[in-house]
Each structure stands twice: as C-alpha cells, then as structure tokens.
Amino acid sequence: MKINLTDKKIKSDLEIILTNGIKDLEDKEILEQLGFEGKDETSLFLPESKKIFAGYEGEDYESLAIAIAQAVKKVKSTKYESASLVLDSDCSEKLKAIVEGIYLSSYEFNKYSSKKEKKTKQTINIFVPKLSKKLEDIYEESKTVSKAVNKVRDMVNTAPADFYPKTMANVAKDLAKDVNIKAVVHGEKYLLENKMNSMYSVGKASTNESKLIHLSYTPKNAKKKIVLVGKGLTYDSGGLSLKPADFMVTMKMDKSGGCAVLGTIWAAAKLGLDVEIHAIVGAVENMVAGNAYKPDDILTAKNGKTIEVRNTDAEGRLVLADCLCYAQDEIKDIDYIFDYATLTGACVVGVGQYTTGVMGNCDKLKQTAVKRSHEAGEYATALDFNRFLRKAIKSQIADVCNIANTRYGGAITAGLFLDNFIYEENKNKWLHFDIAGPAYVEKEWGYNPYGGTGAAVRMNINLLKNLIK
C-alpha cells in the first residue's frame, strides 16, 4: 500500500475518519443504529457514503496506529484504489503512528502461496493543509522504519530450508551494500581459531556452516558507539535435548533477534543517524547428528569461561556468549552494548506474548529503554537481577551452567548467564532484550500480522536517537 502525504486535496474513492466518539459526526444517527461507538479496535464501512470510520480512545501511538490499521483492513477488503485521510496542520504527534500503522498493517507475506491473487494497487492520501518540513521529515523517517520492520518480518517468516546461516549472511551483505556500510562474515574455521567454542558447538551438527556476521556503520561525526548483538538461530530443533514435535513448529522465528539487529542497522544508516553502530549476529542451526554437542559437555567460551551444558535446547545463550565476547574484543570504547534474542519461553509466561523483557545491571538504562520502547509503540518491561537467582546457574564442575537448577525465573537466569560474558568495564552499558513473546505470533494483533512482527526495530531506532541527543 502506498502513502501520499500532500497539502493538495486529491479526489479519493473512499474517506477515512478516525474518531474517538460519534457525537460530533454528521453520520451520528446511522452510526448509532449500526452500533458503532468509536471505541478502540472498532471500524465500520458505509458503502453508500464511501466512508470508513475507525475508533480510538487515547491519543497515544498505539491507539492511533491500531485505529488506522482497522481502517486499512477495510480499504484492503475493497477494490477501490484510493482513500483519503484529513489531518490538522499540527499533527506531528499523530503522523508517525498513522504512517507506521498504515505500512505495518498492510504487510503481507505470500512468498509460498502457489496462487497469487491479483490485487488492486491502493493508495492512502494523507491531506495536511499546511505541510511543514518537520512533518515531511517525520513521514520519511516513519516510512524508512516501517520498511525496516517489514524487511525483518520477511526474514523471520522465510522457511528454514530457504533461510540458513549462509542465507542470513548473504542477506546481511545485501542490506549492507544497499546503504553502503561494511560487512564481514566469518565461518567455523574462524570460530575455532578464535576459541569461540560455545557458538561453534551449537552449530557443528548442522550441514549448514555457522556464520558470524559483523556489519559496521561508521558515520564521520558519530556521537556514540553502540553495539547490537543478535541471536540468529535460523532453526532450533533443540539438539539432543530434542523439542517435542509441536514445539518445533515456528522455530524459524528463533532468528528474530539477529534479524532485528540487521533491520536496525539498515534503518539507522538509511536515516543517517549520528551514531556508530556495529551489528553482530551469530547465525547458527541447532540440529541433531552424531557429532552434536551433548548434555554434560563442558564448553569454553571466547573469554575463557567454562560452561556446563545440561540442556542443548538452551543454545541461544551459548551463541550470544561468544558473540558478546567477540564484540567487546573487536570494538573498543563502547558506549552501549545491547543484545536481542528470542531467548526464553519463561519470558512469555512471565510478561505475556506481546512484551519484551529488558534486563541489565543499570536501572536507569533499563528504564530508559522501556520508556523509548513504549514511545515507539512496543511493549516492554524491566526484569531485575538478584543474587539468589544468580546462584541458580552455578555449576559444580564448571564456571557456569547453561540452565538454572530451578524452573522459576527462567528469563532472568538466562539474562544472568549472559552477564558472565559482559566485561567489567561494560557492565553498566549493557542491556539484554528477550523478545521471545512479541517477535512471532500465530494470530493477528493490532497492526501486526500472523507470523514475524519485526519486534525491536522501532524501539531500537527511537532508543538510538535519544541516546545521542
């Protein structure tokens, strides 16, 4: 779906009206008769007047984005080519939500459909009486961020037979080439030579070679240096601690953290943000074979710490451990280091399917991330570390165990495991984002489709922009 932001009135087939009630509408009587009250997540199409009404109750990003998404769904259900939406000149607080709501809700993934439906090309004309440079900038940024989110959705939704570590590396190279940034990809020989045994072990049973991906965006006048690390499990069978069959379905989504990192650096470079960004992804398949790593194995990570493996399905943290060490060894004078992963089902149980769990040692940084996430339309909450859960990952025969000795607090114990691979000088600069809940869903919600949602991209861009102010 195309958006046209204009200060000229263009004749459109349909009219979209976003409303937080109906008492002031000229169609009030018929709307009342049809039971439309202008509430959240409600919409109504009046074919005779060619008007689409969508309700909202708050002025926040989420309410407006969901409202326009409801309207977009109505437009898409018709064969009309255009619809118009009128906004006030002073709409800077609304425009971002509306533009992103349109682009994100109109996303479709039909790569594997044998019958391609020929659909009408549709445009939404957003009319603003006085179109300022500020509004144009908001529009362009929102469009770029939305494209990045949808790129991530495409990556996450692609089947594992078509998206394995080498594929992920090639996609990363293409994204880097598109915005003229540096791309470096290392294979398993590099992992072994650089003592990255933790990451190497997870992928060694796969016929698809593991890849360590490193993209670098280095603008001349960068105000900060930020490292983004992503879990790129292109498929996770659970390894020898094999997942039940039902739990393997959707495991193509285990690459969501790595995909979000790639989408973020692409968007940041496209927007020309004044921040140096390094995007590091551990692209790995966790499979089963005679040479698979085993429960009871002791792995040595890049920083020399030893890890007792008690469950091969707790593999994402093993990949991230080496990627975090690599990042800190290769990149000096880091201002912030953030990692993203669909790490634990425990996070989904604890905070719900739509919310990211944010962990780290600095309370102020955690709260900043949560705030910026909410501003960008993504749900997030801080999860606090504590000394008692830290004891739960203590190993009797190695430095640390890859799973806890308790089923409780699983998201936090996974975060505490990663803390073992954050160097002392970076302890208060690091955050861990567990996106296991919002990264992939099997039913539509708001402006998010079935499947990959592109979680963390909007949050990241808003966070980056505010950290360099």
Annotated active-site positions, please? Answer: 243, 317
List CB contacts of 23: < 8 A, sequence separation 6 or more.
none
Q: What Å distances lie between residue 379 and 74, 140, 358, CA to CA? A: 26, 24, 10
Residue 377: how many CB atoms within 10 A of its CB? Answer: 23
User: Hey, what are 41's tokens?
Assistant: 């997540």
Backbone angles phi, psi at 214, to 5 degrees: -140, 105
Tell me the residue type at 395. S
Q: Which DSSP helix (H) or strand (E) runs through 51?
A: strand 51-55
Strands (E) located in 309-386 = 336-341, 355-360, 379-382
Dihedral angle at the C-alpha atoms of 451, 83, 145, 319, nearest 10 degrees? 0
Task: For CA atoms 380, 381, 387, 388, give the dihedral sign.
Answer: negative
CA 131 to chain CA mean position, Å = 31
What strand order describes the sheet that includes 430-434? 182-186, 211-217, 276-286, 225-236, 336-341, 430-434, 355-360, 379-382
User: Hey, what are 180's tokens?
Assistant: 């003229």
* Residues written for the chain: 469
253, 182 contact by CB (below 8 A): no
Dihedral angle at the C-alpha atoms of 323, 198, 185, 272, nearest 10 degrees? -10
3-state secondary structure 414-435: HHHHHHCCCCHHHHHHEEEEEC
Q: Please, is 147 exposed, middle or buried when counting C-beta atoms within 10 Å of its C-beta (0-12, 13-18, 19+)?
A: middle
User: Hey, what are 261's tokens?
Assistant: 């990192």
Q: What Å distances lie between residue 176 and 155, 213, 354, 425, 461, CA to CA? A: 15, 11, 30, 30, 17
321, 198 contact by CB (below 8 A): yes
